[in-house]
């Protein structure tokens, strides 16, 4: 007699939820690589962050749904095979991830670990001195299940993203970061408040209810302890 393990039950339940997820179905219809596109879409529609002509950096970009959304914002009237925007791009998108990334026309992709200085240097070189309007980060570490260790890993990634913003973001620019409710969340909110004039937590409808995932949005950098002009 076969005994179904708990992990198999969990995997089957997740697969069933995934197949029936309305955002998964919508992503398939609209040509997005994952349902994650609708998280950024909701955030953008609420706060009106993404505008043609901007320079946007997409951290933790694979498989590319956020970059696809950005691409469509910069070429909204042109759609190619599978719904992918093509043609002239009114803006710049730089994407970075540890994982491989199927090319998206007009998106400059760098594969590497954002925690490594040489990768951050590559990103800075690709910017070629251009100031960034918006940084979006869907980065998340591999979680161990040990709450204190995971909180430290998440905080480190957020610190790196904020440090990057301090070097490259326009004073009036915006940072959007994925974070998780739980140990260390309040410290992350304080960290954002130390570096941005306006801080807003957002839980998009596209984020599953049972997920601890949420997003922090920081706007207008604080420079030297003072508000950006």
- What would the pLDDT profile of 188-198 be if each residue is shown by its tens digit? 999 999 999 99
- Residue-range definition of the domain harbouring residue 191: 34-227
Backbone angles phi, psi at 65, to 5 degrees: -65, -40
Active-site hit among 39, 178, 190, 205: 178
Burial, 14: exposed, middle or buried (Cβ in 10 Å; 0-12, 13-18, 19+)? exposed
Binding residues: 64, 66, 97, 113, 138
Select the more confidently predicted residue: 130 or 18: 130
Q: Does 41 qualify as catalytic in the annotation?
A: no
- Please tell me whether residues 92 and 197 are part of one structural domain: yes
- Please tell me whether residues 10 and 93 are part of one structural domain: no
- Please tell me whether residues 169 and 67 are part of one structural domain: yes
pLDDT class for 208, splitting at 50, 70, 90? Answer: confident
How far apart are the C-alpha atoms of 100 and 3, rounded to whole Å? 37
- Please tell me whether residues 185 and 152 are part of one structural domain: yes
Binding residues for S-adenosyl-L-methionine: 64, 66, 97, 113, 138
Q: Is the pLDDT of residue 35 over 80?
A: yes
- Please tell me whether residues 1 and 111 are part of one structural domain: no
pLDDT at 85: 58
Burial, 207: exposed, middle or buried (Cβ in 10 Å; 0-12, 13-18, 19+)? buried
- Please tell me whether residues 9 and 38 are part of one structural domain: no
pLDDT tens digits along 82-140: 445 566 789 999 999 999 999 999 999 999 998 899 998 999 999 999 999 999 999 98
């Amino acid at each position: 007699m076969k005994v179904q393990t708990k992990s198999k039950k969990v995997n089957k339940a997740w697969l069933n939820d995934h197949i029936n997820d309305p955002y998964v179905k919508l992503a398939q219809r609209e040509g997005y690589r994952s349902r994650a596109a609708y998280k950024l879409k909701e955030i953008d529609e609420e706060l009106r962050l993404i505008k043609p002509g901007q320079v946007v950096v997409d951290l933790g970009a694979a498989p590319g749904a956020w970059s696809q959304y950005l691409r469509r914002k910069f070429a909204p009237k042109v759609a190619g095979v599978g719904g992918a925007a093509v043609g002239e791009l009114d803006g710049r998108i730089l994407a970075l991830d540890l994982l491989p990334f199927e090319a998206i026309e007009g998106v400059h992709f760098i594969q590497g670990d954002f925690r490594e200085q040489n990768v951050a240097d590559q990103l800075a070189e690709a910017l070629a001195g251009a100031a960034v309007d918006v940084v979006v980060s869907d980065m998340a570490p591999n979680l161990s299940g040990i709450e204190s260790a995971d909180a430290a890993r998440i905080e480190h990634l957020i610190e790196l993203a904020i440090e990057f913003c301090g070097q490259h973001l326009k004073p009036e620019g915006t940072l959007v970061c994925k974070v998780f409710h739980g140990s260390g969340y309040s410290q992350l909110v304080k960290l954002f408040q130390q570096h941005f004039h306006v801080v807003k937590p957002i839980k998009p409808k596209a984020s599953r209810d049972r997920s601890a995932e949420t997003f922090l949005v920081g706007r207008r950098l604080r420079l030297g302890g003072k508000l950006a002009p």
